[in-house]
Structure 1
């Protein structure tokens, strides 16, 4: 596990963290399915003059416009980033505009702290997220 606590991070670092997340429905990674892309990630480091804090904004594109697991994919991305980056980092995750039928509703859901906590308290969702973010040998 890479520790980014004392280093400046950028979008390439974030992409390297999330690219190998497995899709909940397919035997492929999010990178292989083109769900995530380095160009869809922005990072502002040392926000508010805090050396251990950064702002990360990630867009992802579900494989189909009606993907019912889009919130789960977002949870996987968030959990994987949380394993590596400072806890004080601010992470916002959005569906790429125009790529999902209910993107506005899902965007609100996947950035609501209480909903995130509630979802991860569900053992089935938690286990699925852990399975998707588990690191394999690459």
Structure 2
């Protein structure tokens, strides 16, 4: 069996994470050494047990998966706008956002500082999220009153530290919650495990992008407490 892609990740310091000024900093500080912690540092921050959160999360998804599949299909085919969003409001928001469009760097900035659910490190430091694995696409869809609404789709591919990571779904949920809280309603978020980096890739992807399962998971107070801890380090 081939070696897992991210099985022995280097731990980046916060100063080494990509920023808008990264290219200028690299040019001005050519020859300087990157402050990357050695791979051996993982031994001191990776605990052995991860069964508790894994059990809670899997239980929630088992409950949610029992819901009527036809309702899931309807939700996917016809995503509704939030109740507080009016046509005029959408138009005004879109005009303001068009002046300063959200790009991949801004998405990365939103999620790179999310804490790993087990370790005192961020997803950016562990290279679970990487700027090249973030893509943004724009498309238009019919809106009421004959107008067309610009829909922006944000796709984030995550790279688990090991191929059998049992908390990959929890990490993906944290990223989804963070983005949906920060982005305007016209943004559609999709989270996927990067191809070839997890042994249950297709199953995790289905869970992360199933609205019914995500909604059921977010109603659990214990899980919300874990997510709040993960998001507490976000800037």
Distance across 2 between alignment mates of 1:68 and 1:8: 35
Count of residue pairs brought into register by the alignment:
134
CA contact under 8 A between 1:8 and 1:45: conserved in structure 2? no
Normalising by structure 2, what TM-score? 0.53
Residue 153 of structure 2 contacts residue 187 of structure 2 at CA under 8 Å; is this kept in 1? yes
CA RMSD across the alignment? 1.9
Alpha carbons 1:61, 1:96 under 8 Å: kept: yes
Which of 101, 104, 115 pairs up with 1:8? 101
CA deviation string 1:49-72 (max 9, x = no partner): 525x41000100111111111111
TM-score normalised per structure 1: 0.89
State the partner residue of 2:78: none
- Residues in 1 aligned to 2:154 and 2:234: alpha-carbon distance in whole angstroms: 25
Q: Does 1:55 align with 2:55?
A: no
How far off its partner does 1:46 sit? 5.7
Q: Distance in 2 between matches of 1:33 and 1:82?
A: 22
Map of 2:225 onto structure 1 = 127
Write out per-residue CA displacement over residues 22-73 of structure 1, whole angstroms, 9 at most, x where no aligned residue. 000111000000100000000124643525x410001001111111111110
Q: Match of 2:165, SS?
A: coil
Query: Relative to total residues, which structure has the larger helix share, 1 or 2?
Result: 2
- How do 1:73-84 residues align onto structure 2 when only pairs under 5 Å count? 73-84=171-182
Distance in 1 between residues matched to 2:110 and 2:177, nearest whole Å: 11
What is the distance in 1 between the residues matched to 2:226 and 2:127? Answer: 20
Where does the alignment leave 5 or more consecutive residues of structure 2 unmatched?
A: 1-93, 142-147
Question: 5+ residue gaps in structure 1?
Answer: none
Cα distance, 1:87 vs structure 2: 2.0
Partner of 1:22: 115
| Shift >6 Å, 4+ stretches | none
Counterpart Cα distance in 2 of 1:46 and 1:133: 30
Tell me, yes or no, if the aligned pair for 2:134 and 2:154 is still in contact at 8 Å: yes
CA distance in 2, matches of 1:128, 1:25: 10
